[in-house]
Amino acid sequence: MSEQYVWLVTGSNRGIGLELVKQLVSSPSNFVIAACRNPSKASELQRLVDSAEGTLRLVALDVSDMESISKAAQEVSGIVGDKGVDYLVNNAGVNPGGRDTAFSMDVNILEEVFVTNVVGPAYIAQAFSGLVEKSAKKTIVNVSSTLGSMGADYGTQCTSYSLTKAALNMLTYKEAKEKPEITAISMCPGWLQTDMGGEGATHPVSVGVAGIVKTVLSLKPEDSGQFFNFKGEKVPW
């Protein structure tokens, strides 16, 4: 483990998170902690444990449950010790509002999405910040979307989701300002062919995730607080 970098990926049982784990564990240089709500039911992750070239551990973590996050932080601390967590990837996210609009959205759904997409990542960063600060790479990646960019024009749809991603981007900015020793970025993985991406998505999930990994591995401290896409390009806030 001394020659490995530690990655913690939330929402790792499907979509972007699962593909990220698959790509990371293909290299022996990665020690991956895959966090999801019910590891015992995550059959694809369970199969990866035996086939991984790198090291893979599964941890229970529900991003909408503060107690679950605290317990996961304690468990991960016991796993990694003084090595810490090099790359904390806040990937878990939901979009139950679909293509809702500002005047038609269900505000109860907005509240639900905000808890998962913003409150969860905020508390996870707090709970794991000590482990991140212990590590060699000291990096937090908040998986966002250009739908949350004020500089992009995507019309009226996906409003509740867009609001939460705009808030997540601001969280990234605040994290970067408060702890300059940590490199904190927002990352748009692209419109990917996952269950959440839906019909019409423009890129295979493998392409977007490969871009995420390449971009994250090339980060420099001066990139902290920035918003990137999977091509490594900076995205307007």
- Nearest in space to 6 (alpha carbons), one of 62, 63, 55: 55
Span 135-141, average pLDDT = 98
The pair of three-digit structure tokens given for residue 152, joined into one six-digit string: 């992009």
Top-confidence residue, 150 or 5: 5
Distance, CA of 45 to CA of 9 (rounded, Å): 12
Distance, CA of 140 to CA of 172 (rounded, Å): 9
Distance, CA of 32 to CA of 50 (rounded, Å): 13
Hey, is 140 helix, strand or coil? strand
Residues 27-62: pLDDT tens digits?
A: 999 999 999 999 999 999 999 998 999 999 999 999
Distance, CA of 111 to CA of 113 (rounded, Å): 6
pTM, full prediction: 0.94
CB 125 within 8 A of CB 88: yes
Does position 197 have pLDDT exceeding 70, yes or no? no
Angle between helices 15-24 and 43-51 (to 10 degrees): 10
Please give the pLDDT value at position 152: 81
Asked which of 12-21, 166-175, 193-202 is least confident by mean pLDDT, the reply is: 193-202
Give the Å distances, CA to CA, from 117 to 123, 143, 159, 180, 204: 11, 9, 13, 23, 23
- Nearest in space to 87 (alpha carbons), one of 168, 24, 166: 24
Span 159-177, average pLDDT = 97
Q: Residue 157: what residue type?
A: Q
Domains, the chain, ordered by start: 5-229 (3.40.50.720)
DSSP β-ladder status, 5-10 and 30-36: parallel
Half-sphere exposure of 3 (CA within 13 A, CB side): 4
Average pLDDT along the chain: 92
CB 122 within 8 A of CB 59: no
Distance, CA of 151 to CA of 233 (rounded, Å): 14
Distance, CA of 32 to CA of 25 (rounded, Å): 7
Residues 173-185: pLDDT tens digits?
A: 999 999 999 999 9
How far does the chain reach from its first CA to its final CA, in angstroms?
38
Does position 232 have pLDDT exceeding 90, yes or no? yes
Does position 194 have pLDDT exceeding 60, yes or no? no
CB 8 within 8 A of CB 76: yes
Residues 109-130: pLDDT tens digits?
A: 999 999 999 999 999 999 999 9
